[in-house]
Homo-oligomer: A and B are copies of this chain.
Amino acid sequence: MKTLTENRVYNFSPGPATLPEPVMLRVREEFLNYAGLGASIIEISHRSKEFDAVVDGAIALFRELTLLPSDYSVLFVHGGGRMQFAAVPMNLIGRVASKRALYVETDAFSTNAIQDAAPYGQIDVIASSKQTAFDRIPTLPPVPQDAAYLHITTNNTVYGTRWNRFPETGEVPLVGDSTSEILSRVIDYSRFGMVYAGMQKNLGPSGTAIVVIRKDLLGKPLPYTPPLLNYATLEKNNSMLNTPSTFNIYVAGLVLGWIKEQGGIAAVEGRNNQKAKLLYDCIDGSQFYKGVAQPEHRSAMNVTFKLPSEELTDQFVKKANKEGLYALKGYRSVGGIRASLYNAMPIEGAEALAAFMKDFERAAG
């Protein structure tokens, strides 16, 4: 079953997650000597012309691949997605006198976003799918127009749901946490005031976030916002007010190049849908597996399902692991199985898992 090089497995980890093999090979190849400098990419100054080219190249590729409108900035920010849970209100909530912001609760991570925003203003949860155990994206009431922004989690990695249509918000900027799906489907960024994503699923190593923000939203931070979380300050300094995570940005640049080589986001999205369909077909054609998410809200990135018992679930995880299908255990609060199918998961990985699911069901049945 192992068709990857060097005894690598099909890695379904929810994050940090599998990265494209050509990227991994390239990093390894040039790890001791970057661009002929005689030093590693992790050993050179972020003020060197070589690293400037890395940052500028990554941002240019992101813009090209997403067709990003010119009135948006792209930033790299320390701390991953969760640091933005505080940084978003610090940067945006002061735009309205009421310091009011709206949140939609759809997952453990959206719950954290709501909690982390609490110190900075009036945080109103205008919709939640908690009552149905987060199996869907809730229907929204009309969006109050006095709010600084509406925050959604565009893909919910724990329960395996996603927003397949983004809400109409009128004049209120829509802010999307796309940590678990950035660059996995074609998105009209002009629908958003801001989109952010921790890198560790579709972009690279953990510890850094990419932030895409409409420029008119910059420059009204709360007074106690640390400079490194002040998006306007970061924009002025090309994300290098201090030493950024140079390795992470370098790997992200290589991953963006790989997406381009794959044919761009639309091509990657097509393959992502194929991979997800392999597993969802398997679930829908079975009495043994039960999907966690409502079909119309299913994620293409995180496929979640349950087996008839915990015992069978444990067996499934262990047996799959032995066959080179790694990290399939569901999130602790949900249980069951979660197969994460980020961009870098090859179709063969999803095929192998679908075949394993059928075999396992037969053997257990």
Given A19-B42, A205-B247, A207-B246: A6 touches B32 (CB 8 Å cut-off): yes
Task: Check if A226 sits within 8 Å of B39, measured CB to CB.
Answer: no
Chain B proximity of A18: nearest CB distance (Å): 5
Q: How far, in angstroms, from A32 to B48 measured CA to CA in the complex?
A: 28
**Are A78's CB and B81's CB within 8 A?**
no
Q: Which of B40, B227, B245 contacts A248 (CB 8 A)?
A: B245
Complexed CA–CA distance, A136 and B15 (Å): 47
A29-85 at interface with B (beta carbon < 8 Å) = 31-33, 36-40, 42-46, 48, 78-83, 85
The CA of A8 and the CA of B30, in the complex, are separated in Å by 12
In the complex, the answer to whether B326 meets A37 with C-beta atoms within 8 Å is yes
| Interface of A (DSSP majority class) | loop
Q: Which residue of B lies closest to A246 (CB)?
A: B206
A110 contacts chain B at the CB level, 8 A cutoff: no
Q: Considering the chains assembled together, what is the distance between the CA atoms of A79 and B87 in angstroms?
A: 13
Task: Among B9, B80, B87, B327, point to the contact of A226 (Cβ < 8 A).
Answer: B87
Min C-beta distance of A184 to chain B, whole Å: 17
Tell whether, in the assembled complex, residue B120 and residue A224 are in contact, meaning their CB atoms are under 8 Å apart: yes
Closest to A327 in B: B45
CB distance from A158 to the nearest CB of B (A): 13
Determine if A125 is an interface residue (Cβ-Cβ < 8 Å).
Answer: no
A119 within 8 A of B: yes
With CB as the reference atom, state the residue of chain B lying closest to A222: B224
Q: Enumerate chain A interface residues (CB-CB to B < 8 A).
A: 2, 4-9, 11, 13-19, 24-25, 27-28, 31-33, 36-40, 42-46, 48, 78-83, 85-87, 90, 116, 119-120, 198, 200, 204-208, 222-224, 226-229, 241-248, 251, 324, 326-327
Pairs A–B under 8 Å by Cβ, sample size 8: A7-B33, A9-B38, A13-B39, A16-B44, A16-B243, A78-B78, A206-B244, A207-B247
